[in-house]
Amino acid sequence: MRWSQTLIPTLKETPAEAEILSHQLLLRAGLVRKLTGGLYTFLPLGLRSLRKIERIVREEMDRAGALEVSMPALQPPEIWQQSGRYETAADVLYKVKDRARKEWVLGPTHEEVITSLAAGEISSYRQMPRNFYQIGLKFRDEIRPRFGLMRAKEFIMKDAYSFDVSDDAAMASYHKMYDAYARIFARCGLKAFAVEADTGVIGGNYSHEFMVPAETGENDVAYLEDGSYAANIEKASSRGPLLPTPSVSTGATPELFATPGVVTIEALAAAPYSVHGVAQIKTLVYWVNGKPALCLLRGDDQANEAKLAGCFGTTVFRAATSDEIFGVLGAHPGSLGAVNMPGASTGVPIYADLALRGAKGMTTGANQDGFHLRHVDIERDVKAIQWSDLRTVRVGELSVGSGLPIKIQRAIEVGHVFKLGTKYSEKMGATYLAEDGQRRPCVMGCYGIGVTRTLQAVIEQCNDKDGIRWPLNVAPYQVLITPLGGAGTAAMKAAEDLYAALQSRGIEVLLDDRDERPGVKFKDADLVGIPLRVGIGEKSLAKGEIELKPRGGALTLCPVADAETRVAEWIKQQAT
């Protein structure tokens, strides 16, 4: 491609709308343009990279034995009602109406569609295992689109769905996808790693997210230096907080004391009260299915809502409002506690974090504004506690297994593999006749890769102060020829010859044939980040030489006659 014949609108200045580096480079290198928040047009250069990622994904999915299909983005709401997600996923569903005022749904994902396909087409154990995938647009009514392609209303996802006869067979399908994902991200030039992920209400232990370490990511990952453990912070657990919880009883019974105006853990930890966070019980109230539920944590701990969802058995819950809380406990946030709950609140489930097990001599709210209780022994003074791991792990805590200290790193989630089980197949009638003549639900798995997000993750990971440094496999072009001389010069002529020669070898080459000053061409070349630049200047050309300059590497000279083979060799060498 000739630069002058395509559209590569590079920007010298950073658009104000772009906060993070990869978003800025996406715009500055002329890869995408925004239509409106969360919706982007891919320009020729950006589209080429996107297609390369798609091709890698497609090759690896095919290699893993998955079958490519294409499912409708526009879907009938009935199948969503059937799966139960018309309500539970309501906040991300785009809904549209046709002329007859019938409602339709724009698919945020395709479990319902693929399961209804399987319900119709898979009827025997002989037809499994099967894994169907597609690469296409997904629509999500994101509360807040942000960071360019990272979180958009419309994005390209590779989604795959496996169907198996048993749990064991489903695990085999799962591991195939896991391995395929590792290959995909490696081929994209990404340093990605798998972490244990929260399985939410579906349960089970089999869900991994593929993460790209990046400070701009939206996830926190807990991991161990030796690589033996890595988990999303939502899932991660430890041996518990580093500072021990008081476990010696004062012998006294709970005693009311006045704490006017004290409504935070910090305030109670300060003078004159000086009750350390480890000796406080934090009481949180959630609203689950229209009913209250209490969550008790040590004062210095943070609740982990993914873990709470596991306790509640649903992801549809929220923090109770101040008014709701007052109605239940007779006090406002800051003075709440599970000891001596008023009569109206009996029957409210109480979930407590394991770090509080055996806690004695604790201080907590008295359910009376402006008062707290001291000398609380939790197991003596609070009834009907359901114990569970509810806290968010912190840096430095010891891991459950090896006891090594936990580290925490920000990361971008680019892929997710999930063993679904029979949740959808049961609801949607995707059953088969087994060898023994029994009818059973198919055991499913689902596997997603955010393709557009992966593209941006590559940019986030591969750049320097001058611009993008594309990995060869996903670069829009492999080679950029930069002649330093206008039309009719010897440099341009040599560039044209090399351009034709490389093209005939099947090398993807971009020729900067613009009548621009060298400085402009160099700056654009660095910004756009093509892996290998061939510089052809009048001076070196007079000596029979041209320049080879890998992006971010050292410049070498090479005889004009050898240029074609040297470029081809370089590419071959990089590809291995």
Enumerate residues 226-285 that contact RNA by CB under 7 A.
none
Two tokens at 294?
């209490």
Near RNA in 394-423, by CB under 7 A: 413-416
- Dihedral Cα 491, 494, 495, 498, nearest 10 deg: -160
Candidate list 79, 105, 157, 492; residue touching RNA; CB under 7 A: 157
Stretch that binds RNA, among 221-229, 260-268, 337-345, 520-528 (CB under 7 A): 520-528
Two tokens at 233?
């912070």
Q: Which residue has the tokens 């709470």?
A: 308
Closest CB to RNA among residues 93, 128 = 93
Q: Note whether 146 binds RNA by CB under 7 A.
A: yes
Main-chain dihedrals φ then ψ at residue 208, nearest 5 degrees: -130, 145
Cβ 472 to RNA shortest distance, Å: 19
The secondary structure of 330-394 as a DSSP string is: SS-TTS--STT--GGGTT--EEEEGGGTT--SEEEE-SSTTEEEEEE-HHHHS-SEEEE--BPP-
Near RNA in 486-505, by CB under 7 A: 486
Which residues, 6 or more positions from 564, have their beta carbon under 8 angstroms from its beta carbon?
498, 501, 502, 505
Which residues, 6 or more positions from 35, have their beta carbon under 8 angstroms from its beta carbon?
41
Cβ 415 to RNA shortest distance, Å: 5
Q: Note whether 517 binds RNA by CB under 7 A.
A: yes
Near RNA in 186-225, by CB under 7 A: 200, 209, 218-219
- Total residues at the site for RNA (CB under 7 A)? 71
Closest CB to RNA among residues 36, 274 = 36
* Per-residue mark of binding to RNA, 81-100 (x: CB under 7 A): ----------xx--------
Candidate list 282, 549, 558, 563; residue touching RNA; CB under 7 A: 549
Cβ 199 to RNA shortest distance, Å: 11
Closest CB to RNA among residues 252, 520 = 520
Stretch that binds RNA, among 79-87, 325-333, 505-513, 516-524 (CB under 7 A): 516-524
**Burial environment of residue 319 by CB neighbours within 10 A (0 to 12, 13 to 18, 19 or more):** middle
Element (H, E) at 178: helix 167-187
Near RNA in 436-465, by CB under 7 A: 448-450, 452-453
The DSSP bridge pattern shows strands 362-365 and 463-464 to be unpaired
Closest CB to RNA among residues 111, 377 = 111
Cβ 234 to RNA shortest distance, Å: 8
Query: Minimal CA–CA distance to 574: which of 454, 470, 434?
Result: 470
Cβ 194 to RNA shortest distance, Å: 11
Spatial separation of the C-alpha atoms in residues 196 and 436, rounded to whole Å: 35
Position 169: which residue type? Answer: A
Candidate list 151, 357, 410, 493; residue touching RNA; CB under 7 A: 151
* Whole-number Cα distances in Å, 561 to 30, 226, 498, 501, 510: 33, 50, 9, 11, 20
Candidate list 84, 358, 518, 544; residue touching RNA; CB under 7 A: 518
Candidate list 143, 248, 271, 575; residue touching RNA; CB under 7 A: 143
**Burial environment of residue 141 by CB neighbours within 10 A (0 to 12, 13 to 18, 19 or more):** middle
Total residues found in the chain within this entry? 576
Which residues sit opposite 535 in a β-bridge?
482, 547
Candidate list 540, 550, 560, 568; residue touching RNA; CB under 7 A: 540
Near RNA in 295-324, by CB under 7 A: 305-306, 315, 318
Spatial separation of the C-alpha atoms in residues 9 and 379, rounded to whole Å: 67
Stretch that binds RNA, among 6-14, 64-72, 327-335, 397-405 (CB under 7 A): 6-14
Stretch that binds RNA, among 377-385, 398-406, 529-537, 560-568 (CB under 7 A): 529-537
Q: Note whether 71 binds RNA by CB under 7 A.
A: no
Stretch that binds RNA, among 323-331, 360-368, 389-397, 525-533 (CB under 7 A): 525-533
Q: Which residue has the tokens 């058995």?
A: 313
Closest CB to RNA among residues 217, 246 = 217
CB–CB of 382/338 below 8 Å?
A: yes
Candidate list 4, 6, 7, 17; residue touching RNA; CB under 7 A: 17
Closest CB to RNA among residues 129, 448 = 448
Position 229: which residue type? Answer: Y
Cβ 3 to RNA shortest distance, Å: 11
Q: Which residue has the tokens 């199948």?
A: 79
Q: Note whether 466 binds RNA by CB under 7 A.
A: yes
Closest CB to RNA among residues 68, 255 = 68
Position 335: which residue type? Answer: S
